[in-house]
Each structure stands twice: as C-alpha cells, then as structure tokens.
Copies of this chain bind each other. A is one copy, B any other.
Amino acid sequence: MTTQQLHEQILQKKSFLCVGLDPDLDKMPQHLLETEDPIFEFNKAIIDATHDLTVGYKPNTAFFEAYGIKGWMSLQKTINYINENYPEIFTIADAKRGDIGNTSSMYAKAFFEDLNFDSVTVAPYMGKDSVEPFLAFENKHTIMLALTSNEGAFDFQTLNAGGKELYKQVLETSKTWKNSENLMYVVGATKAEYFTEIRKIVPDSFLLVPGIGAQGGSLSEVCKYGMNDKVGLLVNSARAIIYASKGTDFAEKAREEALKVQKEMEEIIDLKFQV
C-alpha cells in the first residue's frame, strides 16, 4: 500500500484510527476460550465489527508469541483474514525488531513477505544498517520508534545527545538513510507537547501514535500539534476498544468504543479539511 492510498482511505472513512490487536486469553470473553483458536476468533470478531471505522490494525507480536506455535498460527490467520476480507486496511506488525543487517533482512522477509504486512515497527538503537534492510521493500513501511508513550521514554530518548534530544537525533539521522521515504515514526500520545518540535523535523511523515485510551493520551491535543495537511497520523487504541466488554457482546462494545473515537476524528477532519 502507498501512503497516498492510506491518505485516501483516511479521508473516505473520516478516520485515522488504528486498532491494536493485543489478544490476551486472561482478558477475553469466557465463551471464546472453548473454541479451537480463541485468539483468532477474538480478532476476527473485533475486525468484522470495526473495519469500517478504522484504517489500520496493529497486531502486537508479543501477544501471539507468548502462546508459542499456536500463537504464531493465530497471527498468520489474523493477517490473512484482514488481507483477504479487507484489503484496503493498512496492517502493522508491532514487533519492534532491529538487528545487524543480515538479520534485519530476515525479519523484513518474515513480516513483509511471509506474513505480508504493510508495515512493521522497528527500534533505532543499532542505527542505519539495522533499519535499511526493511526500507528496501517497495510499498512497505518501516515505523521506527522515536518518542514512545511509556515512562521509560525519559531514560534515554530525551537525553541531550550530540546537541539535541536523542529522539530528534534519531528522526534527523534517519532522514539520510537510503529509501527513507518508506519511514514512519512512533510518537506517543502521552507526549503531545513534543509534536510541534517533531513536525519541524518530519513534516510529511506519517506518525503512529499509541497511548490514547488506557495510557491516557488526548486525541485533540495530538491532532492540534501533530496533524499535517495530509492528516499524517495513525492513532492507535488497543485495550480501550478490544476489552470494552468481557461478555458475549464484546465485539458490539468494541464497535461502540471505536465509533466514539471515529466520530471525534470525523469532527477534527471536517473542521481542518472542510470536507
């Protein structure tokens, strides 16, 4: 998928919501646990109930790996289900990978070729040759951590590193890498005041914004400082949507929560773009 296609989908759906798929057996409705593949059944129901309100799904690989081979099978079924039934959806493997060049190539192969995701999240610590193998894939997107939504973000990301905060160094340096037009960045919603500075460095890039909902970030603040003239935001919400209910009505309740966020986004888009 191209960023232009993603942009068009956002305007059409009046949504820049991405639903995080963090399937946790302990938080799922009881009746699903009796099915053969509860994780897939859960994801499928959430996807069917929300696909018209969201432009992206972001399966978090940790929540699949924790269940071993069975979990990896559920991940494969989930991405296949999205690709087959809702091919317009932008898919993100939230995997936070990154290693020396020949290893990163194998991760890129895993997520872009074997699983056929549109994008994957990566960590910047190992630098250029750990990220460029991902960037080599045409019409695939590499979403690099810049400033994350958690408390630990302040341990290293905001240190003054070589004259500016580390996350700014990461943003600036990454722009010099080969095929850097395939980069997007993770910027946490809990740090809305930082978006102005970030937009000076990467005015045109899509930003993937976690931290709305359970983590406490504010959508209007994020949009105020982070939106560009192509929207340029994918706002992720996971727990607040997918665990809205633990009953048999979980998918319906997930839709209600997604709809609330989509409506808020529609207002913002209408106001800003006078559509």
Contacts and interface: CB of A to CB of B under 8 A. Distances in A.
A148 interface: yes
Contacts of A152: 126-131
A197 interface: no
B63 A73 contact: no
A51 to B, nearest CB: 24
A131 to B, nearest CB: 8
A68 interface: yes
A33 interface: no
Question: Number of copies of this chain in the oligomer?
Answer: 2
Interface string A53-77: 0000000101101111101110010
A169 B173 contact: no
Nearest to A210: B100
A34 interface: no
A99 B22 CA distance: 13
A153 interface: yes
A151 interface: yes
Contact of A106 (B65, B73, B157, B210): B65
Contacts of A173: 155-156
Nearest to A170: B156
Interface size class of A (residues with CB under 8 A): 35 or more
A109 to B, nearest CB: 4
A69 to B, nearest CB: 5
A104 interface: yes
Contacts of A250: none
A244 interface: no
Contacts of A22: 102-103
Contacts of A45: none
Given A22-B103, A66-B110, A166 B157 contact: no
A263 to B, nearest CB: 27
Interface in A120-160: 123-131, 145, 148-157, 159-160
Contacts of A149: 100
A137 to B, nearest CB: 13
Contacts of A153: 126-127
A76 B66 contact: no
Interface of A: 22, 24, 60, 62-63, 65-69, 71-73, 76, 94, 96-104, 106-107, 109-110, 114-115, 123-131, 145, 148-157, 159-162, 166, 169-170, 173, 210, 215
Which 6 residue pairs of A and B lie closest in terms of their CB atoms, listed nearest first? Answer: A127-B152, A127-B155, A62-B106, A161-B161, A65-B110, A159-B162
6 contacts: A68-B114, A127-B151, A130-B150, A156-B170, A159-B162, A161-B166
